[in-house]
Amino acid sequence: MSDKYAAITAHEARYPIQLMCGALAVSTSGYYASVQRATAAPTVREVAQARRRVVLARPRECQSSLTIGISPSPPRCRSIG
């Protein structure tokens, strides 16, 4: 969410949204669309990307190997998942 939209959200109880959008030179439809995006459930693609980031963030010895008959993962890797 942009800084302008965040400011509108922070003050929406005190000032009318349409007035703040006009003062900050943003459209009300753009503001409402950003609020809806911020509260929407993650897409399948976003979930897959997040999972890839978790795998890549794990230490190399904790990442799975494609070879057959590998030894069990080290104890410190089991808690990582």
pLDDT in tens, 2-56: 899 999 999 999 999 999 999 999 999 999 999 888 878 888 888 888 887 776 6
Q: Calculate mean pLDDT across residues 58-71.
A: 58
- Of residues 57 and 66, more confidence is placed in 57
- What pLDDT was estimated at residue 74? 56
Give the confidence band of 78 by pLDDT, cuts at 50, 70, 90: low
Question: Residue 34: which residues within 8 A CB-CB, separation 6 or more?
Answer: 1, 2, 5
Residue 30 to residue 2: CA distance in whole angstroms: 11
Amino acid 72: pLDDT: 57
- What band does 69 get if pLDDT is binned at 50, 70 and 90? low
Q: Treating both helix axes as pointing N-terminal to C-terminal, what angle do 28-39 and 3-10 enclose, rounded to 10 degrees?
A: 90
Residue 28: CB atoms within 10 Å = 13
Tokens of 80: 């990582």
